[in-house]
Amino acid sequence: MNRSVVILLILNVVLGTFIVVSSHHWFLVWVGLELNTLCLVPILCLQFTPRGVESTVKYFLIQLFSAAIILNVVLINVWLNSSWSVDGVLSDFTSFLFSLSIGLKLGLFPCHYWFPDVLQGVSFEQGLILSTWQKIAPFVILINISEGVNYVFLVVIGVVSVWIGGWGGLNQVQVRKILAFSSISHVGWICSILVYSKELSIMMMIIYLVLNSGVFVMASSVGVFTLGNLSRLSYYNVWLSMGLSLGVLSLGGLPPLGGFLSKFIALQCLISNGVYLMAGFLVMGSLLSLFFYLRISFNSSMNLFPQHSFSLLVWREMSGLNLSLVVWGIVLSVLVSLSSFGLVFVCLLMSFF
């Protein structure tokens, strides 16, 4: 595909998200979602491999079904309340369907089955878009309708998503599937906190987007697709190995990294609201996720980690000064520094709210 066409498609994906974020009319929100989806489909099948086409078709059908539910629910709501406003009143039935459709787009329980399979069939760059940028528009819609959604239902699907994300990633050896279940778990945390504090939920989403982007960029830069590819990463690039370990440990929530501080503030919010049982379930679900984060960290930083699979790593010769390598180095240094000095990063974010 021509590079100018790819750039035009990416700009339209960004435009669709900004339309959703800035619109207060349901029809414009639906148009932004459809523009986002239709422009991303050609990007997902750039390689045009059988596995990539299969993942693209699955993603297209899921997004099409979700957008159809949203449009029909909007029409029902207009028929009942005579209002196209996003801030309008929702009935119990329409709020339930809205929650399911947004959960389908975000990959929340019980609509999470498609996300790991789709993410496994695309490259790391395309997976980065699916697990970060494509979650912004549905998350904004969820914030807009959070006042009219049954908070018990939202909390339940959030907590179960944390457990599904932790449990599903335990027996995985594919790095992209592990990151997919990690995404399900983190979005579950964000949706659970949304009921009690919108500002804190936004802060957790921003931290997740930054940390997840760093892990995807580092994994893509050396092409690590399985855990076996990670075991000799320290011989290839010790700084990249350290950065990847910091990134996944920060996603896992180990102190004093940025991921821990965001979850610590979230737990403080839950305890201040008296929901001790929910806080306990979220912590136990995060401990499940921490197991496979530690597997990635051990495999990428320990030279003689015991395993049965062969250690496969693509060795590359880096000769001369390459502009793309300089850009990747700058991006990696910024993202790893944000995950390492989480205290400064969280305080900076909290100052905006």
**Identity (one letter) of the amino acid at 336?**
V
Q: Residue ranges per domain, the chain?
A: 3-350
Distance CA 20, CA 36 (A): 9
The residues that bridge with 174 in the sheet, in sequence order, are 226
Structure tokens at 255: 């102190």
Sole residue written with tokens 């959604």: 149
Q: What's phi and psi for 47, nearest 5 deg?
A: -70, -25
At residue 312, the pLDDT reads 47
Q: What's phi and psi for 319, nearest 5 deg?
A: -115, 135
What average pLDDT values come out for the chain (353 residues) when binned by 10 residues?
81 90 87 89 83 88 89 85 77 82 87 88 87 90 82 87 88 86 90 87 87 83 76 70 79 78 85 87 87 78 51 44 51 60 54 50
At residue 350, the pLDDT reads 54
Q: Does the predicted TM-score (pTM) go above 0.95?
A: no
At residue 310, the pLDDT reads 44
At residue 1, the pLDDT reads 66
